[in-house]
Amino acid sequence: MSVHSSLLLRALTVAGVLAAFLLPTTSADASAPLRTHAAARGKFIGAALATSPLSNENSYRTIAATEFNQVTAENAMKWDSTEPSQGQFNFSGADAIVNFATQNDMQVHGHTLVWHNQTPGWVQNLGASAMRTAMQNHISQVVGRYADNPAVVSWDVVNEAFEDNGNYRTSFWYNTLGQGYIADAFRAARAADPDARLCINDYNTEGINAKSTAIYNLVSSLRQQGVPVDCVGFQTHLAIQYGFPNDFQQNLERFAALGVQVRITELDVRMQMPRSSSKDATQATYYRNVVNACMAVTACAGVTIWGFTDKYSWVPDTFSGQGAALIYDENYQQKPSYTAVHDALAGGSSSDTTPPSTPGTPSASNVTSNSAQLSWTASTDTGGSGLAGYNVYREQGSNDQLLGQSSTNSITLTGLSASTQYQVYVRARDGAGNLSSNSSTGSFTTTEGDGGPGPGGTCTATPTVQTQWNGGYVVQPVTVTNTGSSGITGWTVTFTLPSGHTLVGSWNAAVTVSGQTVTAKNAAYNGTLAPNASTSFGFQVSRPNGNTQTPSGYTCA
């Protein structure tokens, strides 16, 4: 075949595969499988697959092919499978996954090139120069093998490079090569396949926290240096006993503002065994919330579930006494979580116009100078989309303030002002976005505070506009420095948004907005500053197209 006709064939094949799983189609039948609904929304819905049941079990294979338009190899593309000894590559498992995907019009996300787990001892024991060369060669061989395969569209280049506290994980990669291994890995992957989307992937990064902020800062700085990071993966291994990260969508949005694709890469929602119908219902809510968040964020490419049947899941082996984390049970029966994913992909039952019932009056406990717990009697939802959570507001006359959101009938409010009376009420939300009537108003008064610089204490706030675009900007970091001679246990930064500007997200501070005045109080973990010590927070704002103003009048107290 001539070069031209083979290129044309490849172009047509790429276009055909893309059309099969990405382009919006006309509306999907309500009973259609997950992938039909996902494709209709321009997203993927995927599963991590294991090679053994894929080759041995009809039910496994049939459900995988019918329901999903994306696949990640659960283990078959990891280093210990693909290059167990130096220079000896084995692609049998990886090829089996890629072939299955090709036969069934599924896209493949390669997982994973550079990770501290499932990497053979021979790599870990190399010196710096040999280790860098081995890493580059591994990436070049593994990515290169599938570079011309239209099914393989993206890679987890670096996996789990951070600790939960936001420090670099002191893996053998970091200890031997320093943080530069990350940029080197991305450059090698780009060289091996200029068209693949290259991702950094991690867990416990669903909410806005120290770890997700560290990744946010790294991705921002790598991209400024021209390092080819195209995408950020949020593993999303959740557990119903730990609560749903209510700032999940907001977190996806702040990454999207960096210009990267975001994706949910390893979703599962575990529970303490045994299962019960109430745990299944809570789990279904988590699945629905995750899918809805991805649907609401344009830059979110799709959702991969880490397996699909409870028959094959990493959870029971890792978390003793926990399990049932997936959307099919061990007998391949669909669970309420399947219905939740299905309905969220199908459009969140947009036919649901019935709001949830009105929640009970919030009552406060454990009130401190800057925090309080609220709980209330739960609502029910009969409209079909299911209860998604609650919004908690402060009653302030005409301009009530959203204090927080919760997926359960309680919340811990932080960042409150000392010696202040709060009148609060709650509204329930369902999966279609309907809001209930306001609950009756509850009231509490925070205790006298000892936080803040206090008399004689003093601090400064220095903002940096990190990125801006037509329609918005990110200010990060706002550096808060204790310029006094004694330690402080809290700080409050205020500033003014230009008219027409709206705050859309913030991190590392408890932020409230009144008119155009923004008040940012320290988070629970960054209020204490010794003399001369600094910390920082950040925020994102949308502004009218064409407007180039940024906030002014920063004060710190």
Contacts of 460 (CB under 8 A, 6+ apart): 480, 481, 483, 556
Q: Among all residues, whose Cβ is closest to ligand 9MR?
A: 314
CA Rg, the chain, in Å? 25
Nearer to ligand 9MR, 51 or 446 (CB): 51
Nearer to ligand 9MR, 40 or 267 (CB): 267
Contacts of 95 (CB under 8 A, 6+ apart): none
**Looking at the DSSP assignment, which residues form a beta bridge with residue 410?**
375
The pair of structure tokens assigned to 412 is 């811990």
DSSP secondary structure code for residue 488 in this structure:
B
Contacts of 342 (CB under 8 A, 6+ apart): 34, 37
Nearer to ligand 9MR, 230 or 266 (CB): 266
Residue whose tokens read 């068209």:
195
**Nearest-approach distance from CB 529 to ligand 9MR, in angstroms:** 35
Q: What is the number of alpha carbons within 13 Å of residue 483 lying toward its C-beta?
A: 10
Instruction: Count the site residues for ligand 9MR by CB under 6 A.
Output: 9
Angle between helices 277-296 and 336-345 (to 10 degrees): 20
Nearer to ligand 9MR, 118 or 423 (CB): 118
- Cα–Cα distance list, 131 to 44, 64, 128, 522 (Å): 35, 37, 5, 42
User: Considering only CA atoms, which of 381, 301, 390 is closest in space to residue 348?
Assistant: 381
**Nearest-approach distance from CB 494 to ligand 9MR, in angstroms:** 41
**Nearest-approach distance from CB 234 to ligand 9MR, in angstroms:** 11
CA 42-47-48 angle, 5° bins: 135
**Nearest-approach distance from CB 450 to ligand 9MR, in angstroms:** 42
What is the pairing mode between strands 300-305 and 322-323?
unpaired
**Nearest-approach distance from CB 266 to ligand 9MR, in angstroms:** 5
Q: Which listed residue (235, 251, 283, 385) binds ligand 9MR by CB under 6 A? A: 235
Nearer to ligand 9MR, 235 or 249 (CB): 235
User: Considering only CA atoms, which of 340, 354, 220 is closest in space to residue 288?
Assistant: 340
The pair of structure tokens assigned to 155 is 């890679």
The footprint of ligand 9MR on residues 194-213 (CB under 6 A) is: 203
The footprint of ligand 9MR on residues 252-291 (CB under 6 A) is: 266
Task: State the amino acid at position 435 in one-letter form.
Answer: L
| 3-state SS, residue 99 | helix
Residue whose tokens read 């675009």:
469
Q: Does residue 67 have an active-site annotation? A: no
User: In angstroms, how far is CA 229 from the centroid of its own chain?
Assistant: 16
Nearer to ligand 9MR, 318 or 382 (CB): 318
Task: Answer for the pair 264, 228: CB distance below 8 angstroms, yes or no.
Answer: no
Which is catalytic among the residues 67, 74, 83, 160? 160
Ramachandran quadrant class, 386 (left: phi over 0; alpha: psi -120 to 50; beta: rest): left
Which is catalytic among the residues 266, 330, 395, 448? 266
**Nearest-approach distance from CB 464 to ligand 9MR, in angstroms:** 33
Binding mask 384-413 for ligand 9MR (x = CB under 6 A): ------------------------------
User: Considering only CA atoms, which of 386, 388, 442, 436 is closest in space to residue 413?
Assistant: 442
Contacts of 57 (CB under 8 A, 6+ apart): none
Q: Which listed residue (75, 119, 446, 536) binds ligand 9MR by CB under 6 A? A: 75
Q: Is 118 near ligand 9MR (CB under 6 A)? A: yes
What is the pairing mode between strands 459-469 and 472-482?
antiparallel
**Nearest-approach distance from CB 91 to ligand 9MR, in angstroms:** 18
**Nearest-approach distance from CB 118 to ligand 9MR, in angstroms:** 5
Q: Is 314 near ligand 9MR (CB under 6 A)? A: yes
Contacts of 490 (CB under 8 A, 6+ apart): 370, 449, 451, 452, 453, 521, 522, 527, 528
The footprint of ligand 9MR on residues 126-165 (CB under 6 A) is: 159
Nearer to ligand 9MR, 174 or 314 (CB): 314
**Nearest-approach distance from CB 237 to ligand 9MR, in angstroms:** 7
Nearer to ligand 9MR, 235 or 246 (CB): 235
Nearer to ligand 9MR, 306 or 491 (CB): 306
Q: Does residue 253 have an active-site annotation? A: no
**Nearest-approach distance from CB 265 to ligand 9MR, in angstroms:** 8
Distance between CA 340 and CA 346 in Å, rounded? 10
Q: Is 84 near ligand 9MR (CB under 6 A)? A: no
Nearer to ligand 9MR, 314 or 328 (CB): 314
User: Considering only CA atoms, which of 176, 202, 322 is closest in space to residue 262?
Assistant: 202
**Which residue numbers are catalytic?**
160, 266
Q: Which residues would be at the binding site for ligand 9MR (CB under 6 A)?
A: 74-75, 117-118, 159, 203, 235, 266, 314
